[in-house]
Amino acid sequence: MSVVVPECCDDLKRERGRCLFNKEELTNILDGGPKLTEKRRRIEKMLINTPELFDDVSPDYLSHEDRYSNELRKATQLMTTLEKNGFTYNDAVTTGTGLWLLMDGNPLSLHISMFLDTIKGQSNPQQLQEWLPLAEKFKIIGTYAQTELGHGTFVRGLETTATYDSTTKEFVLHSPTITATKWWPGALGKTSNHAVVMAQLYLGGKCYGPHIFMVQLRDLETHRTLPGIVVGEIGPRLGMNSNDNGFLQFNHHRIPLTNMFMKHSQVTEDGKYVKPLHSKLSYGTMVQTRVGIVYHASRELSRALIIAIRYSAVRHQSEMVPGDPEPQILDYQTQQYKLLPHLASFFALRFSARALLEVFIGTSAGLGSGKMNMLPELHALSSGLKAVATNDAVKGTDICRLACGGHGYLSSSNLPRIYTAIAAGITYEGENTVLFLQVARYLIKSFRASSQGQTLPFSVSYLRVQPPSSHAPLMSDRGLVDALGAGVRWMVGEAERRLQQLVDSGHSPHAAWNACSVHLVQCADAHTRYYICEQFVDAVSKLGETVSSGVHEVLRQLCRLYILHRVIQTAGILLRCGAVDGKALTSIEEEECHLLATLRIQAVSIVDAIDIKDVFLKSTLGAWDGNVYQRIYEEAQKSPLNKSDVTQGYYQYLRPLMKANL
């Protein structure tokens, strides 16, 4: 496969000719610096030079089994290619490259993320020494087995038991009911020979809640399932069907005492329990994965945007002015309104993902020295951002698909696959509504703490009961973000008032919570988006001193669009709390339309700067050269139905129907 950049069509040439900023500089900003761009490109080049990593035939044309095998072939090839060239799988994860290539489900993705992260984050020193080298070298292959048929969300409700037998110094793992069957874990069905398993710890007849255990599932030579274990694949899903999401049951299966992850809580040989410093430390892998998902969601959204925006510059349809040539569909304001706010969202999410990663790194460092105080803040931020990022990526990719009209529905556009893969992100790693309710809990708690005079952590400090009044003019970026903050404060105050009112009228706090939960989810969503606006404004203003004016202008426009769009979406709340008036909203709407037209001019160049090569976009509509129709036509020729002029189905069914006397 060559890396030669093809000549592009006239439409795209013209679009690119209008670029007023330095694309490379914007690419560097998105990657996190020139060094990271360079590293990403080195990995990409190496992958592009490994033809085995690319499909000759679309997975859509393969049987379920072949599809899985083909994906496994590519996944293993990817790992060995990285290793041989001196990179780690972590390099592929952090630059996103490897995942894109194999993103029909990559059966090793759970191993290189949650399995390894659990080993690193939950092991005591001996366990780390034993398991990490084996896992890093793929001597053992694992997944994260938590969810059961009966419970995904409610981790405390899991039914799998791990009962300590002090006579043999073993845990007995058991699935007491059908609903205790582990269900969903990626790569559990056929790939993994190990799993980290979440199970209820029982000591001397007492339950100590969910704990994590390292469990071998299959023989390391024959790959056969071990006695006492039933494991298999769960069948086709909406997307990612090249993975082997699996089920798992235990029948009084014994594992050594030393297989309970013991970094945070311990069980002694005589069956005594040692408590962790914080009861939710065993949820750490989930928190870490949520942080990763924010990046992942923004990447997938960006792929869809590149495809849809390039296509919109190539596609001509209808007459804007009677008799004139058909315009590029990107010239329609409605098309700009579909796509450009999502382009702004992508940038907003990318900057927020980076800010979240910093909080994660800071909190993890604190945990190392026993500091637990940042944990609730990290939990709230990672939950909120995971939920907003996946919600917006799913909505955005679907809008990109719709914006491509009929051809967006073609598998060869790659939009269906991007959509179905990221659609799972709303559900996995904490269902979004549930995560928002966790954020809401933090908001209400913070709001109440503030009324009692306590100082609030940084992400919620704007909720304090008597905030300083905003001095920024309303129409400035800062002024509008302050208005959004005032809106959230009003919403949270209102939620708190309604909760209190229900409790005062005799409802239990839990019933009151449920009765306010629609509003509480809206509070959490609004709070997270306010945080995102803040991160975006902050990032752009910090970059201001270091980047060229062209790039700064583009970023400023995208940031402005994000804020204006958000104000319009929240108009009802902002009017109710008096943060804006009707006149301001009218001028904001007008400004947004104006900004759409401005951003449209460089839209193709902006998505070019995201710098995702054709081989990773895998789209007939989104390729660099814009040669859309030829590619669609060529892809269609690969359909197995086109191998012969007359299919078997004709002789078997159509012909008899035509000959029948009906």
- Count of residues making up the chain: 662
Q: Which of 30, 75, 99, 563 forms a contact with ligand 3VV (CB under 6 A)? A: 99
269 is catalytic: no
5 DSSP assignment: P
Site string for ligand FAD, 434-453 (x = CB under 6 A): x--x----------------
Q: How far is the CB of 552 from ligand 3VV (least distance, A)?
A: 30
The stretch near ligand FAD (CB under 6 A) out of 161-169, 179-187, 369-377, 474-482 is 179-187
Chain mean position to CA 207: 34
275 DSSP assignment: -
**Closest CB to ligand 3VV belongs to which residue?**
292
Instruction: Give me 243's structure tokens.
Output: 């993975």
Out of 233, 300, 377, 429, the active site residue is 429
Q: Which of 283, 447, 513, 616 forms a contact with ligand 3VV (CB under 6 A)? A: 283
Q: Confirm or deny that 186 is annotated as ligand binding.
A: yes
Q: How far is the CB of 431 from ligand 3VV (least distance, A)?
A: 7
Pick between residue 93 and residue 309 the one whose CB is nearest to ligand 3VV.
93
The stretch near ligand 3VV (CB under 6 A) out of 257-265, 371-379, 407-415, 453-461 is 371-379
Q: How far is the CB of 421 from ligand FAD (least distance, A)?
A: 9
How many CA within 13 A on the CB side of residue 230?
A: 13
- The label of the residue with tokens 């990663």 reads 357
DSSP, collapsed to helix, strand or coil, labels residue 523 as: helix
The stretch near ligand FAD (CB under 6 A) out of 34-42, 224-232, 428-436, 573-581 is 428-436
Maximum separation of any 2 CA atoms in the chain, in Å: 89
Q: Which amino acid belongs to residue 187?
A: A
114 DSSP assignment: I
Q: State how far the Cα of 480 lies from the Cα of 567, in Å rounded to an integer.
A: 7
Size of the site for ligand 3VV (CB under 6 A): 30
Does 433 bind ligand FAD (CB under 6 A)? Our answer is yes
User: Which does residue 391 bind out of ligand FAD, ligand 3VV, none, counting CB within 5 to 8 angstroms by kind?
Assistant: none
623 DSSP assignment: -
Q: State how far the Cα of 28 lies from the Cα of 41, in Å rounded to an integer.
A: 11
Does 632 bind ligand FAD (CB under 6 A)? Our answer is no
Q: State how far the Cα of 177 lies from the Cα of 150, in Å rounded to an integer.
A: 9
Residue 136 neighbours by CB distance under 10 Å: 17
Q: State how far the Cα of 264 lies from the Cα of 241, in Å rounded to an integer.
A: 36
Residues 6+ apart with CB under 8 A from 113: 93, 289, 292
Q: Please, what sign has the CA dihedral across residues 79, 80, 85, 88?
A: positive
The side-by-side arrangement of strands in the sheet containing 182-183 is 182-183, 246-250, 229-233
Does 598 bind ligand FAD (CB under 6 A)? Our answer is no
Q: 142 to 161, contacts with ligand 3VV by CB under 6 A? A: 144, 146-147, 153-156
Q: Confirm or deny that 370 is annotated as ligand binding.
A: no
- Using left for φ > 0, alpha for ψ between -120 and 50, and beta otherwise, residue 119 falls in alpha
Site string for ligand 3VV, 409-428 (x = CB under 6 A): -------------------x
Phi, psi of 145 (to 5 degrees): -105, 95
Q: State how far the Cα of 483 lies from the Cα of 540, in Å rounded to an integer.
A: 19
Pick between residue 397 and residue 602 the one whose CB is nearest to ligand 3VV.
397
Site string for ligand FAD, 374-403 (x = CB under 6 A): ------------------------------
CB 432 within 8 A of CB 387: yes
Q: How far is the CB of 154 from ligand 3VV (least distance, A)?
A: 6
Write out the binding residues for FAD. 147, 186
* Residue numbers annotated as active site: 429
Write out the binding residues. 147, 186
The footprint of ligand FAD (CB under 6 A) covers 110, 143-147, 151-153, 184-186, 240, 245, 424, 427-431, 433-434, 437
The footprint of ligand 3VV (CB under 6 A) covers 93, 99, 109, 113, 144, 146-147, 153-156, 186, 280, 283, 286-287, 289, 292-293, 296, 375-376, 379, 428-430, 434, 438, 441, 445
